[in-house]
Structure 1
């Protein structure tokens, strides 16, 4: 006696996986890219923050150590 076979509830898809992304999953990276592109093209718009001299010296020292 053979066992009855069960059919899957949904037919198998052919041709790949169907993935749907929310609108913001594409919009956020595009917005970040455009923002960085604008800052690169117009560097006068980006203002450098004034840093504490001790922090600046620490970064310079770290850069020197990494350059060795």
Structure 2
């Protein structure tokens, strides 16, 4: 006894896939990329943190461990 086969109710379109993205699906990643690229390329705006010296020592130790 053979099992019945299922067919698609609508034929597949031959013109390609029609995908429409919302405007923010491209705008937000682009904006994030531009902001991060600006931060990387303009280090003059970066200022050293003047905080607790314990945190500074901790970050220095972590950097030394990673660089080994």
Q: What TM-score do the two structures reach when normalised by structure 2?
A: 0.61
2:52 aligned partner: 52
1:26 aligned partner: 26
Task: After TM superposition, give the deviation of residue 17 of structure 1 in Å.
Answer: 3.7
Which residues of 2 match residues 1-68 of structure 1 at below 5 A? Answer: 7-14=7-14, 16-68=16-68
In 2, the alpha carbon distance for the partners of 1:29 and 1:49 equals 28
Q: CA RMSD in A?
A: 3.0
Structure 1: unaligned runs, 5 residues or longer: none
In 2, the alpha carbon distance for the partners of 1:67 and 1:42 equals 24
Higher RCO, 1 vs 2 (CA within 8 Å, ≥6 residues apart): 1
Structure 2: unaligned runs, 5 residues or longer: none
